[in-house]
Every structure is written in structure tokens, then in C-alpha cells.
Structure 1
Amino acid sequence: MAEPGQNLAVVVHRAGDLRLENRPIPEPGPNEVLLRMHSVGICGSDVHYWQHGRIGDFVVKDPMVLGHEASGTVAKVGSGVTHLKPGDRVAIEPGVPREIDEFCKTGRYNLSPTIFFCATPPDNGNLCRYYKHSASYCYKLPDNVTFEEGALIEPLSVGIHACKRAGVTLGSKVFVSGSGPIGLVNVLVAKMMGAAAVVITDLSASRLQKAKEVGADFTIQVKNETPQEVASKVEGLLGCMPEITVECTGVQACIQAGIYATRSGGTLVLVGLGPDMVTVPIVNAAVREVDIRGIFRYCNTWPVAIALLASKRINVKPLVTHRFPLEKALEAFETTKRGEGVKVMLKCDPSDHNP
């Protein structure tokens, strides 16, 4: 165990105020484990809380530890924990239901209104040296899955959940809008689930290059086309309109393009979150029976993701472009804010900076 006072944490106090500070090392409850954190990815939402102090109705009122894409090693187990032991390497599912409500009973626990979720106010995240978490939401990593892959299960889960909600299947033609980390995991998962062709759009040429690396068949660098023009480019490249569109930007024009692009009878899944109110051609969608679905995080995805990573059926390693030690977290956040690279990974264990 570390000396007291060696639990360095990345804490947002209010908009624009991000600090590195020491926190006490927590004591795990009966059904919890104390983890020595290893790798934690920075998500756009972490940056947003730092920059704006809120996301929608979730407002930072008290200092909050950031981070929710994470893996680590079990340091200590609570008295009731039987499936994990000290030394086990685990990936952390950040959303833990606080009560077994109707949503939990139907298997959609992500929709439980009282769920605990790392780094969503007022719940602290795990971008720190030591962190305690519900043992049932820590998943043991096989020896051939790295800590960084374990941390990437969180964004990967968004892709798994979105592609399931979209109904991607053998031979699907898919349009992914936005080539950030979430767009990229949707490309990976769609291809894995049998998509015959995936086209992806973005403003950035370098991000589209990364999309090609992870398996996108076609890329479109958007400049100042109208939504209808983007839709017709998508159709031109695929040779038909896609049955499925996965919108990962939350930008109004992109949602509009998503509706225009999707084949009649197809499905548009909205993953990216933008402003509360957006103007969209809803009648166009309605008369063509385009189903518009939302997603909220994910559920029941960690076992699936671990199986895919362990069997080498999916490769998320190219997503990590930058690594920083925890002490340089502020620099890492600045890097993410500037939009450099794809996924920035923080290394929380001073004795082990390996992937």
C-alpha cells in the first residue's frame, strides 16, 4: 500500500479550474474492491466538465474527481467479495445501479435514474492512484489483454451498444458521422458485426486517416456541404443509401445529414450529444419510416468486449495516440482539448507505465 497522502487525483472544482490534489486512500466496503489504478483514458465529457462545469443538467457543485475509462489492479477486497483477489487486473464499468428498480429488472440498468456513474456530478471518477468500486462492476482481464485495452472497453462499449441498438448485421451498409474516438469504435464494431461497407465523415483529414486504419471503407472530408449534399456523397460512395446511420457528433447539420442519408425503413442512432434543442427534418424521417433511436451509455457490454479483445477479434490499440504520467494530467487535458491525436491515456501507477 502507498503511504497516506499518496492518492494523487485529478479534480475539477468549477469551470476552468482543474487541479492535481492528494486525497485519502479509501477503504473498500463489504462488496467493494480497492484498486491501484493503472490506465485511465480522457473522454470529451471530462474536458467538457473542466471547461464548462456542467453537461446539461449535471452540474459540478463540489470538487469532483474526473475519469471513467479505466483499469487497474485489485489492492484490497471487501469482506463479501469472492470472485476477485489482490493482484487481479480488472477493467471498470463506471455505472453502478444503486437500487434494483424496474430498469434493472429488465436488464437496462443504464437507464436507472439513481445510478452511480464515475465522474458525473456528484459522483467522483477514478482518475487517481487509488479508487474503490463495486466488485460486481470490476471485470477480470485475461493475461493477453493489456490495461490500456481494459480502459478502452468503456468507449468500445458505446460502439457495441450503439450498433446493437442500430441493428447492424451481416451485409449492413453503415454511415458513421464523426471520426472521434466514438465514431472510430463504431466503425470497429460495425465491421465486427458484419457490416459490408462503412463510410465515415469528419472535418479532419488526420482523423479520417485513423478511420481508414481501423477499417472504414470510405471517408468523406466535410467542408461546407449542405446536409443534403453530404447525404448524396454517402450514397454515391456506398452505391446505395445506408440502412443504418450512427451519428457521433451531436452537431445539428450532421443530424440533418443523418436523416437525409438513411435509407427509407432504416435506422438512425443518435450517439453524439449537442444542444438541448436541434432543428431536424423530422417529417422527412417520419414519411420514410426512418427509425430514430437514442442511446445512453451502455449496458451488459463488458463481458462481450473482453471476449472480443481476448480472442483478438477486435483491435483497439491504434486508438491510443498519447500517454502521460498522472503528474502531467493538466498537460494531457490540454492536449485533448486541442483535439490532438485520438485517445489520450493517463498512467496512474508510477511503477508501471507499460500499456
Structure 2
Amino acid sequence: MSSPNLAVVAHAKDDLRLDELPEPTAGPDQAVIEVAYGGVCGSDLHYWLHGAAGESILRAPLVLGHEVVGRVVTAAADGSGPAAGTPVAVHPATPVDDGSAPFPADRPNLSPAGTYLGSAARVPHTDGAFARRVALPTRMLRALPEGLPLRTAALAEPAAVAWHGVGRAGDVRGARVLVIGAGPIGALAVAVLRHHGAAEIIASDLHELPLETARTLGATATIDARNADAIANVHADVVIESSGTVPGLASAIRGAGRGGRVVMLGLQRTGEIPVLMSLAITRELTLTGSFRFNDEIDEVIAALADGSLRIDPVVTHEYPVAEALEAFRVARDASVSSKVLLRFDEEA
């Protein structure tokens, strides 16, 4: 008999539960996936701690999770997608063009009506995949190369976010790059920058654990985020702001060299925020947004498979799904954890 289909569900602010779901029912173009691992993301934490992630407000219970890998247990009835037994990573986005606002055809991540697994942006909410078994459209599935461990591939989605953000900076070969915030996404940005040939990678954070992770992944130097003078003296060609905080954005602008580019990878709080705009103007900085990713997940998977992208040190903790509440408590503390994985498959 199959184990209960446990799922991690946010019911409201401070109300995170392990619920037992019915077995998934797949549509013709959907496969049933047995989830092996899921990574706890900042948005998952926000739904638990605040009942919202930015402007996406919980109005009903939401199955969390969009960083997932697993195996196909039942292939799609229409013959699309991978066969049963195939290990897969998941691309959680569904671009939708409903005519509400134009967006570039080659940048579907900017689709205003698009949905994302584990998101309360729309009503009804789009349930995520933090469950032992889920039915997903085959277009979301990426077959994993032979020999790529599922535990490593569990980072493919957040690594694709970092890959997209670094891509927004342009060619970074030989560049001096400053990464503000060395949490999971910042650490993955360090790994991607190293892969892409950056000459110097300086990482900044408030805590020693993320700084040590950044050094392990290829940072050539690290700075305590409270050392404003040291950050201002970096004069970086490119800055990746991955903290998503107002002080982090200020540090990014201060740390950028004249004519440099600041990629705003960390999502700032909703509403107006103070920005050092006069400094950005007089230094002729380019401020560039970065939001999710498109097909970069395919490049990430290929780089993981050939060993050119090393990201395993980002994972600091792993918990069985039955201990999900403890996993979330650990994940919220950036001084003791980086990426926290949930293990759904008891045999993973």
C-alpha cells in the first residue's frame, strides 16, 4: 500500500500543516510524479510567516512548493512527456497571454497572467508540489540525464533563477562582481558567476555561514554586510543584489563602479522604497530587474550533469516530510541554514 499522500499546506499566517491529500487525478496531458525532494524557498516561508508573499495574499489553503524533483510513476495518457520511471525536474511556470498587458514574446516569465506552482497570486490559488504524489502537465517536466542525482537536481529551479539573473548582467567573463546577500539564491549566483568566468567574485552577508558557503562555491573574497566602507571600495563592474532588502539595494549601488550594472535579483517589498538614485545617476549605473527565469533551467541541468556547475554545498539541511514544520523553522534562520530540503520519497 502506498504511503499517505502527505502535503505541506499553508492555511493562514502562522498556520502551516501537514495534510493528507487524495491521490492525484491526472488529465490527458499530465503525468503523476512521485516527488523525491523539495527545496524550501523564501516565498514558502513568507506564506507561513506572513500569510502573503509580496502582493500574493493567502485567501485559501495553499499547497506550497515549486522547487521539486522526482520520478514519473504514471505517464501522460496522451503520450506526451517522459515515460514512467523517468527522473524529472519541474519548471513551475505557466505563461498565459490573456491580453491584459503586452510582454515580449521571448520573455514569457513576464507574462502578467502567468501562474507559478505554490502561488497565491491568483484566485483560485495555484497549488504547489510539496506532496508525495502530484499530477503535473508534461510541459513542466524536464527529464534528467543519467547519473545526475535527484538531490543535486533539486536545486535546478533556484539555480535557474540565479542563472537568469546573472544573464541579465550580460557577459561577465573577466568581470569584478559583487554579490549582495549570500543566502541560497546569492550563493547560487556565486556558483553561476564562477561557471560563467567572472574574474573576481566578492560576496557580502550579515552571517558567517552564508559567507563560508560563498567561499566554498568560488567567491574570491567576502565582506561583512555591516562594513559599508569595504563595500563602497569594491567598485564592481557588476553587482547582483540578491538580499531583497532596502539596505542591500543601497549597498549594491554603493558597491558598483562607475558605469556599472546592478541586477536587482532579490524581490523588494511591495510599495515605495528609498533608493540612492542620485548616486546611480551620477555614476551612470544601469539598474536591471530580474524575475524568475525562462528556459535557463535546461542550461542548468546540462551544467549540473557535466559537472561544470557545482552547487551541492548550498544544501545545509535535509528533513523527511513528516518533519516539515521543523524544516521550515530551520530554513527561516539564515545564520544556521542555507537551502533546506524536504525529502518526500522515503527511499530517496
Same fold (TM over 0.5): yes
**Partner residue of 1:259 out of 235, 244, 253:** 253
CA distance in 1, matches of 2:345, 2:205: 35
Retained in 1: the 8 A contact 2:232–2:251? no
Q: 5 Å matches for 1:309-324? A: 309-324=304-319
State the SS of the aligned residue for 2:32: strand
**Partner residue of 2:265 out of 250, 254, 271:** 271
State the SS of the aligned residue for 2:236: coil
Q: Tell me which residue corresponds to 1:349.
A: 345
CA distance in 1, matches of 2:155, 2:252: 26
CA distance in 1, matches of 2:43, 2:88: 23
Q: 5 Å matches for 1:174-193? A: 174-193=177-196
CA distance in 2, matches of 1:252, 1:245: 15
State the SS of the aligned residue for 1:78: coil
Deviation at 1:320, TM superposition (A): 1.2
Q: 5 Å matches for 1:79-228? A: 79-99=77-97, 106-121=105-120, 122-223=125-226, 225-226=227-228
TM-score with structure 2 setting the length: 0.93
Retained in 2: the 8 A contact 1:33–1:74? yes
State the SS of the aligned residue for 2:186: helix
Aligned identity (percent) is: 33
Q: Tell me which residue corresponds to 2:243.
A: 249
RMSD: 1.7
Retained in 2: the 8 A contact 1:176–1:187? yes
Deviation at 1:99, TM superposition (A): 4.6
Q: Tell me which residue corresponds to 1:31.
A: 29
Retained in 2: the 8 A contact 1:103–1:111? no
Deviation at 1:250, TM superposition (A): 1.8
Deviation at 1:169, TM superposition (A): 2.4
Deviation at 1:36, TM superposition (A): 0.5
Retained in 1: the 8 A contact 2:29–2:80? no
TM-score with structure 1 setting the length: 0.92
Task: Work out whether 1:283 is the aligned partner of 2:286.
Answer: no
Q: After superposition, give the CA deviation of every residue in 1:3-27 in whole Å (9 maximum; x if it has no partner).
A: 7xx2110100000000001111121
CA distance in 2, matches of 1:103, 1:2: 46
State the SS of the aligned residue for 2:231: helix
Retained in 1: the 8 A contact 2:75–2:81? no
Pair 1:203–1:98, CA change in 2 (3 A): same
Pair 1:274–1:100, CA change in 2 (3 A): closer
What amino acid maps onto 1:67 in structure 2? G
What amino acid maps onto 1:231 in structure 2? I
CA distance in 2, matches of 1:180, 1:325: 22
| Greater displacement, 62-71 / 98-107 | 98-107
Deviation at 1:69, TM superposition (A): 0.6
CA distance in 2, matches of 1:17, 1:282: 39
What amino acid maps onto 1:47 in structure 2? L
What amino acid maps onto 1:242 in structure 2? A
Q: After superposition, give the CA deviation of every residue in 1:40-80 in whole Å (9 maximum; x if it has no partner).
A: 01111111110000022201100001111110100112222
Retained in 1: the 8 A contact 2:12–2:51? yes
Q: Tell me which residue corresponds to 1:238.
A: none
CA distance in 1, matches of 2:10, 2:231: 40
Query: Any gaps of 5 or more consecutive residues in structure 1?
Result: 236-240
Q: Tell me which residue corresponds to 1:16.
A: 14
CA distance in 1, matches of 2:269, 2:70: 34
Deviation at 1:251, TM superposition (A): 1.8
Retained in 2: the 8 A contact 1:247–1:268? yes
CA distance in 2, matches of 1:103, 1:110: 12
CA distance in 1, matches of 2:132, 2:265: 31
State the SS of the aligned residue for 1:45: helix
CA distance in 2, matches of 1:176, 1:59: 30
State the SS of the aligned residue for 1:243: strand
Deviation at 1:273, TM superposition (A): 2.1
Deviation at 1:275, TM superposition (A): 2.5
Aligned length: 341
CA distance in 2, matches of 1:35, 1:21: 18
